[in-house]
Structure 1
Amino acid sequence: MNASHRFAMGALAASVMLAGQAGASEITDNEIRIGYLADMSGVYRDPIGPLGLDAIQMAIDEVGGSVHGAEVVVFSADDRNSADVGSSVVREWIDERNVDMVTGLVASSVTLAAIKLIEEENRLGLVNGAVSSGVTNESCSPNHIHWVYDTWAMSNGTAKAITQEGNHSWYLLSADYSFGHALEGDVERVVAENGGTVVGKARHPFPSTDFSSFMLQAQASGADVIALNNAGADTINAITTAGEFGITQAGQILAGMVLFSTDIRSIGLEVAQGLQFTKAWYYDMNDEARAWAERFRERTGSMPTMVHAGLYSSTLHYLQAIEAIGTDEAQAVRRQMADTPVNDIFATNGYIREDGRMVHDMYLVEVKTPEASQDEDDLFEIVRTIPAEEAFRPLAESQCHLVDNGA
């Protein structure tokens, strides 16, 4: 070990020791201030949106509403899927309200803009809604953690399984912004790695209501699989249009890369049956998840999505870290979160890597037929559990500057 490395390790140990000795006076303003930034009115409203606040509040309630005598306070805002709006909100929260942590962070374009500010001001970001794998790859920072899923994991689970079943030709329809571009690239990589080919591509405006021309192009391509590299209302509209054109009835497979339980309810089992896709969490995966989901439904009238579960899990882990070390200083809290396994309703033995990726099992699911469904909440069956180490991008392939790959 060289001298500089010994010094760095010593400084790290000292900072952790000091953080551990800190009391309530180390919590700024004697309040823990959380900002929830999300799409409250657009295409991601139903799967994330306003109900995300309830998930966060459930975590706050779990610790009694305060930590070391410091009240937990939450601010919220609609980012309107605009990077400019999102950046402006985060700037105001930091400058005027001294917010400690920002969570939600849904549209990837908004997220990538927000995490730059969060790093500049040494606050903490807990990314739950955004899917772009670049969040912890080329855009990684020591000030944010990516919790629920990413495009690498979603494409690796779904595209790999479908291609290995012998469906080799793919047509990619993607939302025309950073999330859709990232997902398109990851799907193309997985298809090629598993012996498939991409025979055509198109990008649709974000958001979009008319998918007729795009679906006709995809149908005319003759591809075995049409991949929908979008989410929320865009995915719902695309699947509905495909149903109107009889695309799946004619033998082509529709592969939704990012689907939520709210989407399946909107589409209906009659249209969605047989769809396979990857999920980070499902309320029927075990008894503990179901019990929490029932409490969420009692509070909101709806069953939670995987992002709602992630918001609860990441907020609880954050608050428990502050409780353990007695300070809300961003770097100390992030270290404590990384040093503590994630064991809750969302993940078993999850852990936070140096690139900021929270690693956990993922699940390949299939939408049930109407006949197989026992009630309105019985939507999926788990086809395969994708182990954590297989689910996310290997660190050996990381472009994150925080990762030492021996270069």
Structure 2
Amino acid sequence: MFILRLPLALCLNFAIAVGVAGPADSQISEQPIKVGVITDMNGPLASATGRGSVEAARMAAEEFGFSISGRPIEILSADHQNKPDIGAAIVRRWFDVEHVNVAADIANSAVGFAIVELARTRNKIVLVGAGSSDFTGKACAPTSIHWTWDTYSSATGSVKAVFGPGADKWFFISSDFAFGHALERDGIAAVEKLGGGAVGHIRAPFGTADFSSFLLQAQQSNASVIAFGTGGADTVNILKQAAEFHLAKPGVRVMPLQLMIDEVKAIGLELGQGNFALMAFHYERSPEAKAWSLRFFDRVRAMPTAIQAGTYSAVRHYLQAVKDSGTDESVAVVAKMRATPVNDMFATGGYLREDGRMVHDMYLTQIKAPAESTGPWDLVKIIRTVRGEDVFRPLADSECPLIKR
């Protein structure tokens, strides 16, 4: 009889591997699928994200009965307070201690960059709701997905909407943090690509309450368009103060480079009427979008912003990929997400590119005049649908190192 004799150390290693593999596989198959919504609960981005984003993620989990193949789905939430160190500390604990599978929403670019780097070293998925287009550029990562919108698409679409003779000299007032820097950069590039120029730019601290000194500089610049690269409460404040300064006058246009529905609500139709904005989502884009938005309204008492709707869509797509692939291993799940078109209330025919960008149609909207509005959330009208390929950065121009050239 032939007897195979193995070295003792190899036998021990084999025994340990077998002993560990069995229980571990069982544990992995039974542990909860955890989605962590890291958001701004109380700061300037809270109405655009915050509790509404958490509720949107829960709505996605509800569609699966909070369970996939017998594994419970858990939705965790935390407030990053718009501080990268706080956001990173929370997500580090989620990944390392609480075994959270995916971080979602974020909606602050500086916080998002810190989280993407954490996820990169841990092979974890991040569903980015923040705006900087660098998430699909130099900061792209194999398991980072940029879902809702970005500064490139917003700036490009907004500039194209108003650029022309008498609207070719631009001055930019931007928030002085990662998102504002990217929106300013992408806005200037869009103006120059169309043959115009930036006559000046200035940056205001994030969370500024008084924009008067910045508006005065813009007023003295002889620009034909004064563009605001801001978000959240900053956009609301600067548009209201621009109206007080009578910044818009014959020959001068005031232009927010991005707007969410909550910001339009806070600004009011009287001050905002006529302004264009490229939106990633509007509840009237389809009957399915409106039905979902009304369910969301019943829970939150507000119509969903693009970020909140995008959080729902991204989490839902992730959970469907886990179900369809039969695993929660990040690389396999992302591969399934890329292979599956996005068809839901948020997007029709959306798809994931290799740089992490989810490409989908967007909507050029215009803020209604008060006389046009039929209710408290009847604030903008869709002027036209814009193909995602026409406003998101072309893959050929991306700085993402993951792209195969």
The offset of 1:161, in angstroms, is 2.0
Q: Would you say the 8 A contact 2:166–2:224 is kept in 1? A: no
Structure 1 partner of 2:13:
none
Kindly tell me: are residues 29 and 207 of structure 1, through their superposed partners in 2, closer, same or farther at Cα, counting changes over 3 Å?
A: farther
Go from structure 1 to structure 2 and tell me whether the alpha carbon gap of 1:25 and 1:147 turns closer, same or farther (over 3 Å shift): farther
Aligned residues: 381
Q: Which residue of 2 aligns with 1:325?
A: 325
| C-alpha distance in 1 between matches for 2:258 and 2:221 | 22
**Quick one: percent identity of the two aligned structures?**
43
Which structure: larger Rg? 2
- CA distance in 1 between counterparts of 2:138 and 2:344 reads 29
Is the Cα contact below 8 Å between 1:169 and 1:225 reproduced in 2? yes
Measured after TM superposition, the shift of residue 50 of structure 1 is 1.2
The 5 Å alignment of 1:165-244 reads 166-244=166-244
The answer to whether the aligner puts 1:307 opposite 2:307 as a matched pair is yes
The answer to whether the 8 Å contact 2:166/2:251 transfers is no
Question: Contact 2:283–2:290 at 8 Å: present in 1 too?
Answer: yes
TM-score normalised according to structure 2 size = 0.92
The Cα offsets for residues 116-151 of structure 1, whole Å up to 9 and x where unpaired, read as 0011011110012x1000001100010110000001
Rounded to whole Å, the distance in 2 between the matches of 1:300 and 1:399 is 38
Structure 2 partner of 1:87: 88
Q: Residue 122 and residue 225 in structure 1: after superposition, are their counterparts in 2 closer, same or farther (change >3 A)?
A: same
Would you say the 8 A contact 1:27–1:327 is kept in 2? Answer: no
Match for residue 6 of structure 2?
Answer: none
Give 1:249 deviation, angstroms.
3.9
- The match for 2:380 is 380
Distance 1:85 1:286 in 2: 38
Cα drift, residue 112 of structure 1: 0.3
Q: Distance in 2 between matches of 1:177 and 1:116?
A: 18
Deviation, 1:389, is: 1.2
Point out where structure 2 has 5 or more consecutive residues left out of the alignment. Answer: 1-24
How is 1:367-406 mapped onto 2 (pairs within 5 angstroms)? 367-405=367-405
| 2-structure distance, mates of 1:268, 1:323 | 43
Deviation at 1:164, TM superposition (A): 3.4
SS in 2 for 1:97: coil
2:112 corresponds to 1:108: no
Please give the TM-score of this superposition, normalised by the length of structure 1. Answer: 0.91
- For 1:240-299, what per-residue CA distance to the aligned partner results, in whole angstroms no more than 9, with x for missing partners? 100111112454211111211111111110000011111001011221111110111112
- The change in CA–CA distance for 1:26 and 1:134 in structure 2 (over 3 A counts) is farther
Say if 1:58 and 1:312, in contact at 8 Å, map to a contact too: yes
Residues 30 and 70, structure 2, Cα contact 8 Å, conserved in 1 = no
1:44-123 equivalences under 5 Å are: 44-123=45-124
Contact 1:27 1:329 in 2 (8 A): no
Cα RMSD over matched residues?
A: 1.3
Residue 345 of structure 1 pairs with residue 345 of structure 2: yes
- Counterpart for residue 35 of structure 1: 36
Q: Deviations over 1:208-233 (max 9, x none)?
A: 11101111111111211111001000
Letter in 2 for 1:127: V
How far residue 195 of structure 1 moved from its aligned partner, in angstroms, is 1.3
Find the residue that maps to 1:92 and give its secondary structure.
helix
1:27–1:326 contact (8 Å) kept in structure 2: no
